[in-house]
Amino acid sequence: MINFMSYKGYAASMVFDQEDKVIVGRVQDIDDIISFHGESVAEFESNFHAAIEDYLAASKELGSAPEKPARGKVMLRIAPEVHAAAIKAAAPASTSGLKARLAKRLGSHPPRSQRAAKPDSARRLANLENSLF
């Protein structure tokens, strides 16, 4: 059984290791690997918080932005005529509208952690309209 704990927008998995008698955690939904463990829930939580604080401090020290997990919200600015065409194209296919159609289509791609290589974002955005409908 896997449980989750969150702190400062980061979510960590919680898996009990029977052999070592510890709770093992790993921060989810980012490419950077942040792992930790604890012998109790209190120790696990304390170590999780410390791991996140260390990650944020190290990122600042290195002059790079820490990776943030996706929140599930996307703000997309497109030309009004493209937006209107997308709404019209989505209407006959689904009664739930454009947002549901976009979510379904975007959700059909494997998560980042399951892909062999990072996608060419510019190419994907350029082809998004054609692949949606």
- Please check whether residues 10 and 57 belong to one and the same domain: yes
Instruction: State which residues form the domain around 84.
Output: 80-132
Tell the residue number behind the tokens 């604890």, with chain if given. Answer: 38
- Residue 73 inside a domain? The answer is no
- Please check whether residues 128 and 86 belong to one and the same domain: yes
pLDDT at residue 44 tops 90: yes
| DSSP-derived secondary structure letter, 63 | T
What residues have CB less than 8 Å from 113, skipping those under 6 apart? 31
Confidence band of 10 (pLDDT split at 50, 70, 90): very high
Alpha-carbon distance of 89 to 51, in angstroms, equals 46
- Residue 71 inside a domain? The answer is no
pLDDT for 46 equals: 98
pLDDT at residue 8 tops 70: yes
pLDDT for 109 equals: 60
In this structure, are residues 24 and 15 in contact, taking their beta carbons and an 8 Å threshold? yes
Query: pLDDT tens digits, residue range 12-42?
Result: 999 999 999 999 999 999 999 999 999 999 9
Query: pLDDT tens digits, residue range 59-78?
Result: 999 999 999 987 777 777 88
- Please check whether residues 58 and 12 belong to one and the same domain: yes
Query: pLDDT tens digits, residue range 83-132?
Result: 888 777 777 655 567 777 777 777 766 555 454 444 455 455 555 545 55
- Per DSSP, the residues of 2-27 read -EEEEETTEEEEEEEETTTTEEEEEE
- Please check whether residues 18 and 50 belong to one and the same domain: yes
- Residue 126 inside a domain? The answer is yes
What is the number of domains present in the chain?
2
